[in-house]
Structure 1
């Protein structure tokens, strides 16, 4: 899958001097554009930005919105499939549609899921 390949390319740009755990992500839009992201760590861990947030923020920064997002791939070379952290799940629950494919891969295994499966009963704008 092209989106997964691009996410693995993005992973090469990760800055992970502390955890050594590199993650890449790629957002594909309905008009065929791709936005890449990599995890960028910081000695103050709370200031670290995950790959999937980097990619989705790049798409939004270029004028795209949830109705324009076709899929997002999140990859690492770990033994287990990478999954979004809680903060990323919260962000994705607001910034992508519920049926958007979230493709998780480590190069050997791939899983296609969606935000409802990853974060059921999410808190969002409807709760306010």
Structure 2
């Protein structure tokens, strides 16, 4: 199964506040490197589009329109300086903000219930076996 960009959130919420701004968490770096198809050290909109289009949602793929909407929103939010590229620092900043947002009880951990609510907010209710 292909791990979505959002899958690292539960793993990062505990460590994220203690990371220095210029130090990239190894899990974020690994996720970034898997997404950086041309290995130029930045993520383009096309690389994000391709990565999100390959994401599994349960036993189905995201519908193309939903994948495009998610990747566009992700890219626009992550590209903090609006230069058309996402750096590892920008990606880490987005994940920190998302983790903080989804940790609704502010205990420093994204619980399974908080993760399920975050998933539903991003991609909607879980699809049935037919993907509908």
Q: Normalising by the residue count of structure 2, what TM-score does the alignment of the two structures yield?
A: 0.28
Structure of greater Rg: 2
Higher relative contact order (CA 8 A, sep 6+): 2
Structure showing the higher helix proportion among its residues: 2
